[in-house]
């Protein structure tokens, strides 16, 4: 007997959910694909013309800019689509590599990822980094091979590259038919047919599709169809065919060819998200125990956004629902402090339009407004207490000492730094030598510091002076090693708010030498917690 009454409705609702994120290197087509998924899910009637976005600074959210550009109302953090009886939650990930850490946290809230590759470029640096996070979490990945409408590399080469560079077995589901520059349609290996697409201007509306049998396709497309059939035979021969078990384990990846711009393959991808992507499963707590889906509400904060809109100066915590039925107005407990937390103001949509959310189920994201005192990584629950494990963090690579230009603004400076740290904008490191007046800030990308400076000025009225510190590498360490390192030159051990100790080195050379001379020191790479 479970310790709480079975809640069939919760498990059934969880089974309908698909919560996923799109990962890609900038320019591979994430924004375009997002927009086309909206179009095919019926969330927008027409996809607007994509305007040149050169020089656009993706500081906050790609979707916010998308909203402004297209005048459509979508969420800047999570987009909920209702397709074929399923509820799809699409989570936004920042496009710029400087915000990789935000992306890491978002991936912690996703149950699957879509990896978008540009067929002309294959695997790019940011794709690889994000893929590694997915792999560490055994996240199932669907691959979308984009821009097949224009000359690129042979898709077979990309399949090899996935295997060679990422040890990911691609299992093609759709394959391009046509010359580069003259894409005619896609071979659908699952349904054994050819799908020919009608033209739409930049894919503003759903493209007409004509489904042809292999015999018809051979008669009409000749050599181009034969090439796709050869590829299919090859995949069958090497066993590169759709395999649910290895896909769910994150070892193989169903591959969809297409062109988001002209809508080729978008429907297939959307169907695959519905059919293949996994529904939420019970989350494990910090002790490795599963919290059943039907247990009372629990969730964790994967993102905090404050002052998103100057007319709503507030702070929203985004909570991934892990178990139970969320009902607006319920009182939750913040696991870290044991304090109650009211959910009177829960929202689902952000950006230009906010909507109150009344209920949510496992997989759904709830935005809690007025989330003062809440930090990224916090657990919230009702009923039996639970604490989910800390979120993934990346080793910082940039360090800078911060101080308020005007000492009379010190109080605002301290509050601003602390609140921005809670949001995860930067990491603050401390040791005995550093006081609150001149904290050491650490980041993965330079733009994190720029965001901090900008927001301290705009939101807290503080002009900040940043003095870069000479460290370039950080390693996680322990107390014993920290004591031994105290006498060393070119290394400084500092503590993160959660108690994690980081040894900062001026050069990888010092680190290598120390590791060689003292193999007993604990100096671990901090890629994913
Ligand atoms: P991102 O979010 O991953 O950074 O990529 P985004 O969708 O902004 O797309 C980057 C560029 O690639 C855009 O061109 C977009 O139109 C183009 N693109 C996306 N998908 C396809 C596709 O399937 N085929 C082709 N040929 N192009 C595609 P841009 O020049 O930056 O903007 P614009 O001039 O098209 O507005």
What pLDDT score does 175 carry?
96
- How does strand 359-360 pair with strand 355-356? unpaired
DSSP letters of 315-377?
EEEEEEEEES-EETT-EEEETTTTEEEE-SSEEEE-TT--EE--EE-TT-EEEEES-TT--TT
Considering the domain architecture, whether residues 185 and 323 belong to the same structural domain is answered as no
225 falls within a domain: yes
Q: Which residues span the domain enclosing 350?
A: 283-381
Q: What is the CA radius of gyration of the chain?
A: 24
- CA 219/CA 186 separation, integer angstroms: 15
Q: Which two tokens stand for residue 92?
A: 């936004």
Beta strand pairing call for 86-91 and 17-24: parallel
Between CA 203 and CA 187 the distance in angstroms is 20
Residue 9 placed within a domain:
no
Q: Indicate whether 333 and 377 sit together in one domain.
A: yes
Beta bridge partners of residue 252, listed in sequence order:
169
d(CA 385, CA 290): 13
Tokens standing for residue 335:
């696991």
User: Distance between CA 260 and CA 63 in Å, rounded?
Assistant: 16
- Residues with Cβ < 8 Å from 116, sequence gap 6 or more? 22, 23, 24, 28, 29, 30, 33, 144, 146, 260
Residue 11 lies in a domain: no
Asked if 264 and 303 sit in the same domain, the reply is: no
Residue 236 included in any domain: yes
Closest protein CA for atom 32 of ligand 1:
52
| Whether residue 163 is found in the same domain as residue 307 | no
* Ligand 1: centre distance to CA 29 (Å): 5
Question: Residues 393, 526: contact at Cβ < 8 Å?
Answer: yes
Strands 315-323 and 174-179: unpaired
- Which among 276, 291, 326 is the end of a domain? 276
Per the domain annotation, does 265 fall within a domain?
yes
pLDDT at 346: 67
Tell me what pLDDT residue 7 has: 58
Residue 78: phi, psi to the nearest 5?
-140, 140
Q: Decide: 116 and 266 in contact? Cβ < 8 Å.
A: no
What is the pLDDT at residue 411? 94
CA distances from 103 to 50, 235, 412 (A): 24, 33, 29
Q: Whose CA is nearest to atom 25 of ligand 1?
A: 147
Phi, psi torsion values for 332, nearest 5 degrees = -105, 165
| 392: in domain | no
Indicate whether 334 and 481 sit together in one domain: no
Q: How far is the CA of 28 from the centre of ligand 1 (A)?
A: 7
Placement of tokens 């912690």 in the chain: 108
Give the mutation target among 35, 36, 95, 261 for probing the ligand 1 site: most ligand atoms within 8 A of CB. Answer: 261
Atom of ligand 1 nearest to the CA of 62: 2
Considering the domain architecture, whether residues 31 and 131 belong to the same structural domain is answered as: yes
Q: 30 CA distance to ligand 1 centroid (A)?
A: 8
- Quick one: tokens of 109? 């809230």
Q: Which atom of ligand 1 sits closest to the CA of residue 25?
A: 3
The set of protein residues with a Cβ atom below 6 angstroms from ligand 1 is 24, 26-32, 50-53, 62, 95, 146-147, 149-150, 259-261
| d(CA 166, ligand 1 centre) in Å | 25
**Atom 35 in ligand 1: residue holding the nearest Cα:** 50
- pLDDT score recorded for residue 6: 46
How many domains is the chain built from? Answer: 3
In a domain, 221, yes or no: yes
Give a yes or no: residue 3 inside a domain. no
Closest CA to 232 of 194, 264, 268, 272: 194
Ligand 1, atom 19, residue with closest C-alpha: 29
* pLDDT computed for residue 204 by the predictor: 79
**Which residue, 245, 260, 276, sits at the end of a domain?**
276
CATH, residue 513: 3.30.70.3280
- Kindly give the distance from the C-alpha atom of residue 32 to the centroid of ligand 1, in angstroms, as a whole number: 6
Ligand 1 pocket test, candidate residues 32, 93, 97, 126, most atoms within 8 A of CB = 32
The answer to whether residues 250 and 105 belong to one domain is: yes
Q: Are residues 190 and 265 in the same domain?
A: yes
301 and 236 within one domain: no
**Distance (Å, whole) CA 127 – CA 132:** 9
Q: Based on the fold, state whether residues 233 and 377 are members of the same structural domain.
A: no
Token digits of residue 477: 């360490």
The series of mean pLDDT values per 10 residues for the chain, 529 residues long, is 56 95 90 89 63 36 48 56 89 74 88 96 89 88 95 92 95 91 90 88 80 92 92 89 92 96 94 95 96 97 76 78 93 95 70 63 89 90 95 86 94 93 91 84 90 88 95 92 87 90 91 92 73
CATH code assigned at 324: 3.40.50.300
pLDDT at 455: 87
Distance, CA of 289 to CA of 343 (rounded, Å) = 26
Strand partners, 144: 116, 256
- Are 130 and 163 found together in one domain? yes
Contacts by residues 61-66 (CB-CB < 8 Å, ≥ 24 positions apart): 61/92, 61/94, 61/351, 62/30, 62/31, 62/34, 62/92, 62/94, 62/95, 63/34, 63/92, 63/351, 64/351, 66/31, 66/34, 66/35
Whether residues 34 and 95 fall in one domain: yes
Domain boundary among 326, 347, 381: 381
């Amino acid at each position: 007997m479970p310790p709480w009454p079975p809640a069939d409705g919760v498990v059934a609702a969880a089974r309908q959910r698909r919560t996923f994120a799109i990962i890609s290197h900038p320019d591979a087509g994430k924004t375009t694909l997002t927009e086309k998924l909206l179009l095919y899910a019926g969330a927008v009637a027409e996809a607007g013309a994509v305007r040149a976005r050169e020089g656009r600074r993706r500081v906050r959210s790609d979707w916010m800019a998308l909203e402004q550009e297209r005048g459509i109302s979508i969420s800047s953090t999570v987009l909920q689509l209702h397709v074929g009886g399923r509820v799809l939650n699409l989570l936004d990930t920042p496009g710029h590599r400087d915000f990789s850490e935000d992306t890491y946290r978002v991936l912690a809230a996703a149950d699957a990822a879509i990896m978008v590759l540009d067929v002309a470029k294959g695997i790019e640096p940011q794709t690889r980094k994000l893929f590694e996070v997915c792999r560490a979490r055994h996240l199932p990945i669907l691959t979308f091979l984009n821009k097949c409408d224009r000359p690129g590399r042979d898709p077979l080469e990309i399949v090899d590259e996935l295997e060679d560079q990422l040890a990911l077995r691609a299992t093609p589901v759709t394959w391009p038919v046509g010359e580069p520059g003259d894409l005619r349609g896609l071979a659908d290996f699952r349904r054994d047919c050819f799908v020919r697409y009608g033209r739409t201007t930049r894919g503003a509306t759903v493209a007409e599709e004509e489904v042809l049998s292999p015999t018809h396709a051979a008669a009409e497309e000749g050599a181009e169809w034969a090439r796709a059939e050869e590829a299919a035979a090859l995949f069958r021969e090497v066993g590169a065919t759709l395999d649910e078990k290895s896909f769910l384990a994150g070892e193989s990846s169903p591959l969809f060819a297409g062109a988001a711009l002209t809508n080729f393959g978008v429907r297939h991808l959307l169907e695959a998200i519905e059919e293949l992507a996994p529904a939420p499963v019970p989350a494990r707590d910090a002790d490795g125990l599963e919290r059943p889906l039907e247990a009372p509400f629990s969730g964790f904060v994967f993102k905090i956004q404050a002052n998103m809109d100057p007319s709503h100066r507030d702070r929203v915590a985004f909570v991934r629902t892990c178990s139970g039925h969320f009902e607006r107005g319920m009182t939750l407990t913040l696991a870290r402090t044991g304090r109650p937390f009211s959910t009177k103001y829960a929202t689902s949509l952000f950006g230009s339009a906010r909507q109150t959310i009344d209920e949510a189920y496992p997989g759904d994201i709830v935005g809690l407004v007025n989330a003062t005192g809440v930090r990224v990584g916090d657990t919230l629950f009702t009923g039996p207490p639970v604490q989910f494990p800390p979120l993934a963090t990346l080793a910082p690579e940039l360090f800078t000492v911060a101080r308020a230009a005007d000492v009379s603004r010190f109080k605002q400076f301290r509050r601003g730094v602390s609140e921005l740290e809670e949001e995860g904008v930067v990491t603050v490191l401390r040791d005995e030598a550093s006081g609150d007046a001149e904290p050491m800030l650490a980041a993965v990308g330079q733009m994190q510091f720029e965001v901090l400076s900008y927001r301290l000025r705009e939101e807290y009225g503080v002009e900040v002076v940043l003095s870069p510190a000479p460290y370039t590498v950080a390693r996680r360490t322990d107390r014993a090693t920290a004591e031994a390192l105290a006498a060393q030159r070119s290394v400084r051990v500092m503590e993160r708010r959660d108690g994690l100790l980081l040894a900062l080195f001026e050069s990888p050379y010092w680190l290598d030498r120390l590791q060689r001379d003292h193999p007993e020191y604990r100096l671990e790479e901090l890629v994913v917690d």
